Each structure stands twice: as structure tokens, then as C-alpha cells.
Structure 1
Amino acid sequence: MNNKPGRLGVGIIGAGKVGAVLGAALRAAGHAVVGVSAVSANSRDRAEILLPGVPVLEIPALIERSELVLLAVPDDALPMLVQGLAAAGAWQQGQLVAHTSGRFGTSVLAPARAAGAIPLALHPAMTFTGMTLDLARLPDCCFGVSADPAMLPIAQALVVEMGAEPVVIAEADRVLYHAALAHASNHLVTLAAQSTQLLADVGVEAPDRMLGPLLRASLENALASGESALTGPVARGDVGTVKAHTHALREYSDRDGPADFLAAYLAMTAATASRAAARAVLTPVQLQLIEAALRPDEPPPD
């Protein structure tokens, strides 16, 4: 293992898009990545690119060699993995065990804790490609960290060493924290894909060229100014435009267009109107009119 003070022997379980990148970041910080578990061909290829020279090991051998075990596996697989390894007697006294799940805090690592391991939750609030460009993005990234108070400085230090910013998330708040990130990131992708498809269906040859400047400006304005950056028909109280949108999207859906666009538009317009009314951007009457315009029994616009 690395003999530099404070350096750890790190084992990576799960060489997916997240695990391989974080392993490379820890290695760049001076830690020794002693092994990686990689099942699929893509995972092995990723490990070769991001962690050259690191051996691919079976999980028991990897844990035995590691002072820090990083569990970078899907959320639903994490509890069973931790419990199974505890039943096999794999966890070691004083070993650091960190997972990268946003949904879970340290409670999911209770079986490892019972064996004397030290549990940490380190979730990067970033979407990963699994390529080297992710390493350049880490300095702009925050991690949601959870740990016992005495161990929190260790979790924070590991994140700082990877070049990112640690943000402490209470154990009880992990699911809401993760829901906020998933809502922002995943649903943004869905929104862009829906709008791209609709533009293509009406004959726009380069939907990305049309949407790109609009989406980038909207995101930058929203992050800088919050909901005061809201523009468009809801913010203006243009009930007739909302009614026209709704009617056109119903017809589009009825013509074998994807129904998910209409459902998303109705839900997001209702949420946007409600939040605008709460900030007195819309009057109560305007809110009622917009909500009525979204109903399926509303007659077509004039």
C-alpha cells in the first residue's frame, strides 16, 4: 500500500460510470487504488481507461486488501450487497466503507458497522459519462455527505481531495435530497427530449439548434434569479395561449403522438401557475382561469 501519511488503499466495487471516475480522482489525490470489481465488458474497459494498471479482483479479495471500500452500485442493489458481505464475514474492523448512493445515508451500511467498519455516504451531485471529462467537472461539483459526527471530517476530506465541495445532508433528509436532484437532472433530460421530438414532428430540421440557446439561458437565469426569471404565457397570465397549447397537444396526442408530452405539459403548467400565484405573479382569478384551461372538457380556443 501507499506509504505516504494519510494515504489509503482503496477498493472500488462497481466500475460503472461513477465508481471508475471517483477511483481515478482518489488515485490522483495520492491514494492507492488496490483493486476494482468489474463484471461487464464495459466496466472492464472503463477500468482499463480510467484506472490503468489496477487489477480486477473478486469482491472478497478486494475488501481484504482495502482500507477504504467504495461501493458504487445501483441503489436497489446496495442493501443486499452490504448484508451479503456481512454474512460472509468480509467487513473488517476499522475499515472505511463509503457508498455513492444519493438515496441512502449511512444506515444502509449498518451490517458493515456491526462488524466494526466505519460507514460514510458520499454522493456526487453530478451526472456522469464514465469518461475522463468527468474528472474535469469534479471541481464544480458538490457531494452530499452523511456520516457520524466524529467521522464527518473524514468524509469531507475525501471529497475535498477529489476536488469537489462537501455538503452535509442529514440522514433523515437523504431521500428528499436525492429526489430534488433527480427531479432537476433527469426530468430536464425528459423535457428536452419531448420538446426536441415535437419540434422535429412539425418540421424543424435542427431542434437542438433552436432549443439550445433557449434552454441554456433559461437554466442560467433560473439559477441566478430563481423564480423571478420566469417568463412565458403563465407568468403573463395569457390564458388563451395556455388553452391553445392544451388543445393542440390533445390533438397531437390523439393523432398517435406520444401522450407523455401532454401529461408533462399539464402537470408542469399547473405547478408553474400555482407557484406563480403563491408569489402574487398571478391573481387568484388568473390562476383559476389557467387551471380551467388545462381541463379536458374545456372548449377549443377561439
Structure 2
Amino acid sequence: MSSSTTPAPLRVGVIGAGRVGAVLAAALRDAGHEVVAAAGESDASRGRIDALLPGTPVRKPSAVARASDLLLLTVPDDMLPNVVTMLAASGALREGQYVAHTSGRHGLAVLGPATALGVRPMALHPAMTFTGTAVDLPRLDGCVFGVTAGDAEREVAARLVADLGGRPMWVPEERRSLYHAGLAHGANHLVTLVSEAMELLSASGADDPAATLRPLLQAALDNALEQGDSALTGPIVRGDVETVRAHLAEVTANAPDTLPSYVALGRATLDRVVTDGRVLPIRAAKIRRVLDAAVAPAALRAPR
């Protein structure tokens, strides 16, 4: 915050020095803020503090809160309500203090016990996956943060996101879970999908499944982000019933754990290309029967 119109550097405390908390605190320190204390109980958390925030005192959560002008709560979603309640009851929070959590799901309501004490609440969720190492710091450049803040905190929230190298996406309180679901479905389920694809390639004899997939996946991702459904290719889009049938037989025989997701995504793909007219309903019905038969109980699959 070097501009004369921006506030002085803040004293930052972080509770939950996990993969996200330690990295964000390190980025804020690089931007000129002072990280005064961190709370982390596990060996992994303490290791991240040593690596990313060297010299930062490790304190109990209430002590971290008392020492900070900006308190980052980077604990798991399900722990957040209890942490906020505990801090509010302990007297560690004060009027005018900024308290920001990094949960994608939660908005400002979860900070209610703190807000009742005069705390200035913010939700700052980075739309990024983290390793908890210095590798993450340059990845924050251009990262979108899902931000929920009141009018009085909006300017400060935007400045903090800018200090982190990101840009804000303003998310209404009532849309936080939907926003987070979109990210989780795209990123977390992508990891599952890619892992299953590598298992299938490995079963086919590929000695380096990742290298085989990388250029294809990178092109597919770029095309999907630019073109949406128009980027879809493959046997379902072409209406190749027998190719889909052959896939399902091989998946069932060699990697049955991947069959449910193959079928589920096949059905979803089919729905999308029927809607836009690329596959005629009669052809789609044949593909759907093949997909349904692959996961039907054995008694229903048996010939009669």
C-alpha cells in the first residue's frame, strides 16, 4: 500500500496456518504489511510458518487476534463458526478490527458473533488451489477472489485483494454456496476426472499417462473456457453408439471404479448436445440405453 490514498500497513494475524493461510499472510507481508503472529497446532502448519513466515511468533488464537488489526481466519469451513464464537467469547476481538475469513461457502453471517462486537467483517476467498509452499505466491497474480463485504468495508477489501495480486469478484451473501459449488465442481472434480483418465490409460499400456494427456487436456480446457459447449468433441457428440458401447465394456473389465463417473458424465454430455441439436433424439436414445445398461443390475442386463 504505497499510495498516499491508501491506509497504513496493517498488523496481520493469521489463525489456521494451512496451505491457504500461510501463503496469503506471506503475500500480504511482501506487500508491506506486518505479520505479527500466527496460530497453527500441527507440525505441518508450524513448518509452513517457518518456511513462509520466518520469525513470526506462533501464538494461541486469542493472542493472535489481540495482536492484529487484520485477523485472517483460514480454518476449514466446518470449524469456522466455532472459531468465531470462541474468539468473540474470549474478549480477543475489538471494535474497528478487520476480520476476514477465506471460506468459499460462507459469507458474512458466520462472522455474526464478531460483528456484534463492532468488528468489520469480510469474506475473501481465493479461487485458486494451494500447495502451501512458495510456489503458490506467483499464482496469486491475477487470481480472482470471491469477496463479500459491507459498503463500509468494500474499499478495504478491494485494496487487500489488490495487495495479494488478485482481483475481486463481488459475491452476494446468498450466493456464496453457489459460487463455491461452481469452483469445486470445476476444479476438485477435474482432479478426480483426470486421475481416472490416467488410470484408464495406464491400464491400456501407456508408460506415461500424464504426458499423453497433458497436451490434449490443455487444449480441451482452453477451448472449453473460450467456447463452452461448442468445444465438445468425441463419440457422444458424433453419435457413435458402438464406440460408446466399446468404451463401457473396456472400462467395466479393466477399471470398474471409473464406470459410474464415465456414465454420469456421458449422460450429462448427451443432454447438452441433444439440447443444442448436434445429436438427434433417436440417436441420443440409443446412446442413453447403452449408458443405462452399463450400470444396470446384472439381472436387468442378462439377455432374455
Identify the TM-score tier after normalising by the shorter chain: over 0.9
**Residue 238 (structure 1) aligned to one of 237, 240, 245:** 240
Looking at structure 2, the residues matched to 265 and 79 of structure 1 have their Cα atoms a distance apart, in angstroms, of 37
Corresponding residue number in structure 1 for 2:262: 265
Structure 1 residue 159 corresponds to structure 2 residue 161? yes
Instruction: String of CA shifts for 1:249-271, please: whole Å, max 9, x gaps.
Output: 2333xxxx442x00000000000
Q: Distance in 2 between matches of 1:5 and 1:156?
A: 12
Structure 2 residue ranges without an equivalent (≥5):
1-5
User: Where do 5+ consecutive residues of structure 1 fail to align?
Assistant: none
1:49 Cα offset (Å): 1.2
- Which amino acid is 1:161 matched to? D
Output the CA distance in 2 between the equivalents of 1:283 and 1:258: 29
- The CA deviation string for residues 275-299 of structure 1, in whole angstroms up to 9 with x for no partner, is 1112222222222222111022697
Map Cα deviations across residues 22-44 of structure 1 (whole Å, 9 max, x no partner).
00111111111110011111111
1:61 match: 63
Partner of 1:30: 32
Alpha-carbon distance in structure 1 between the residues aligned to 2:278 and 2:82 = 49
The C-alpha deviation readout for 1:206-237, integer Å capped at 9, x for no partner, is 11111111111111111122111111011111
Residues 36-76 of structure 1 show CA distances to partners (whole Å, capped at 9, x for unaligned) of 01111111111111111111111111111111100011111
Counterpart of 1:69, as a letter, is L
Alpha-carbon distance in 1 for matches of 2:55, 2:22:
13
Aligned residue number for residue 143 of structure 1:
145
In angstroms, what is the RMSD of aligned CA positions? 1.6
Asked if 1 retains the 8 angstrom alpha-carbon contact of 2:11 and 2:36, the reply is yes
Paired with 2:140 and 2:268, the residues of 1 have a C-alpha distance of: 32
Aligned ranges 1:178-257 → 2 under 5 Å? 178-252=180-254, 257=255
Distance (whole Å) between structure 1 residues aligned to residue 154 and residue 285 of structure 2: 48
Instruction: Tell me if the contact between 2:200 and 2:251 (Cα under 8 Å) persists in the aligned partners.
Output: no
Q: State the TM-score, normalized to the length of structure 2.
A: 0.92
Structure 1 residue 126 corresponds to structure 2 residue 128: yes
The offset of 1:5, in angstroms, is 4.4
2:175 aligned with 1:173: yes
Q: Quote the Cα distance in structure 1 between the aligned partners of 2:225 and 2:34.
A: 38
Aligned CA distance change for structure 1 residues 33 and 162 (closer, same or farther; 3 Å):
same
Q: In structure 1, what is the Cα distance between the partners aligned to 2:149 and 2:283?
A: 47
Aligned residues, how many? Answer: 292
Match of 2:275 in 1: 278
Aligned letter for 1:142? V
The equivalent position to 2:284 in structure 1, one of 282, 287, 299, is: 287
Match of 2:117 in 1: 115
TM-score, length of structure 1 as denominator length = 0.93
